[in-house]
Amino acid sequence: MGELTGRTALVTGAGRGIGRAVARGLARDGALVAVHYHRNETAARETLELIAEDGGQAFGVRSELGVPGDAEALYARLEDTLADRGAGPDLDILVNNAGVSGPGRVQDVTPELFDRLFAVNTRSPFFLVQRGLKNLRDGGRIINISSAVTRIAYPESVAYAMAKGALNTFTLALAKELGPRRITVNAVSPGFIETDMNARKRTTPEAAAQLAALSAFNRIGHPADIADIVVFLASDRSRWITGQCIDASGGSRL
């Protein structure tokens, strides 16, 4: 019996990378995990297979984010799948992990890129929370995956940094709003992690070494480094932590 047994979690963007590691971690601790994905069904199936090998329970939910009506569509599929499993629509843990990146200095960012980054990284989590509040049980957990670029100047991707900064502000305000319901709201801010999103930045050993050198530990982070923090924030042990943006960059650029 894991600490999260009897609880239901939704992890967006859980087909790969940090989302996959988070979904596995929550499932290992006993949660029933909804593995959200959009295009890559093969990756989502791999996540589900890994969870099953770990002895956990999970199911896939396919839905596009960053488009009109995305929150309603996702929750409709989630509720239908839970009903098919004989479960109610209640949710205990929401992890807003899905995100997109896009390089561009201020002079290079197009309106289309700007809108896309904010649609997926900021607007989508906002309305997933808004729509999910009727599903989320009192005492639940909301965990937003932010980025260390909200602390460290990163002009190479200014619009992405702005979108994640807005997510941190949302975290703070939401924690105050939901405190009376004993729902904690926190953000986790990774640095460079070994994921597909960052693959283009470590195409050579020299580039990978430069990224590793940013951390006080002289290595690039692993998805499990972030997942372990998220699982803690999802547990009862984190009950007195809310409204926080937790730096999980391995001490990058201290």
Using pLDDT thresholds of 50, 70 and 90, give the confidence band for residue 196.
confident
Using pLDDT thresholds of 50, 70 and 90, give the confidence band for residue 199.
low
What is the predicted pLDDT for the residue at 53? 97
Residue 210 lies in domain: 8-248
Q: Which residues of 31-40 are buried (b: 16+ CB within 10 A; e: fewer)?
A: bbbbbbbbee
pLDDT digits (tens, 9 = 90+) for 3-57: 999 999 999 999 999 999 999 999 999 999 999 999 999 999 999 999 999 999 9
What is the predicted pLDDT for the residue at 139? 98
In this structure, is residue 254 part of a structural domain? Answer: no
Mean of pLDDT values over 135-143: 98
Instruction: Judge whether residue 202 has pLDDT over 70.
Output: no
In this structure, is residue 63 part of a structural domain? Answer: yes
Choose among 246, 224, 160: nearest CA to 23: 224
Instruction: Judge whether residue 233 has pLDDT over 80.
Output: yes
Please tell me whether the overall predicted TM-score, pTM, comes out greater than 0.85 for this model: yes
Instruction: Judge whether residue 193 has pLDDT over 60.
Output: yes
| Amino acid at position 181, single letter | R
Mean of pLDDT values over 51-79: 97
Catalytic sites, residue numbers: 160
> Helix, strand, coil proportions of the chain in percent (round to 5)?
45, 20, 35
In this structure, is residue 1 part of a structural domain? Answer: no
pLDDT digits (tens, 9 = 90+) for 140-163: 999 999 999 999 999 999 999 999
Choose among 253, 248, 249: nearest CA to 229: 248
Q: How many whole angstroms separate alpha carbon 80 and alpha carbon 27?
A: 20
In this structure, is residue 43 part of a structural domain? Answer: yes
In this structure, is residue 2 part of a structural domain? Answer: no
Mean of pLDDT values over 123-142: 98
CATH number at residue 235: 3.40.50.720
Instruction: Judge whether residue 68 has pLDDT over 60.
Output: yes
Give all strands of the β-sheet with 8-11 in edge-to-edge order: 57-62, 32-37, 8-11, 91-96, 136-145, 184-190, 245-248
Mean of pLDDT values over 166-175: 98
Number of domains in the chain: 1
The rounded mean pLDDT for the chain is 96
Q: How many whole angstroms separate alpha carbon 85 and alpha carbon 95?
A: 21
In this structure, is residue 3 part of a structural domain? Answer: no
Mean of pLDDT values over 73-77: 97
Instruction: Judge whether residue 201 has pLDDT over 70.
Output: no
In this structure, is residue 58 part of a structural domain? Answer: yes
Instruction: Judge whether residue 169 has pLDDT over 60.
Output: yes
In this structure, is residue 36 part of a structural domain? Answer: yes
What is the predicted pLDDT for the residue at 195? 83
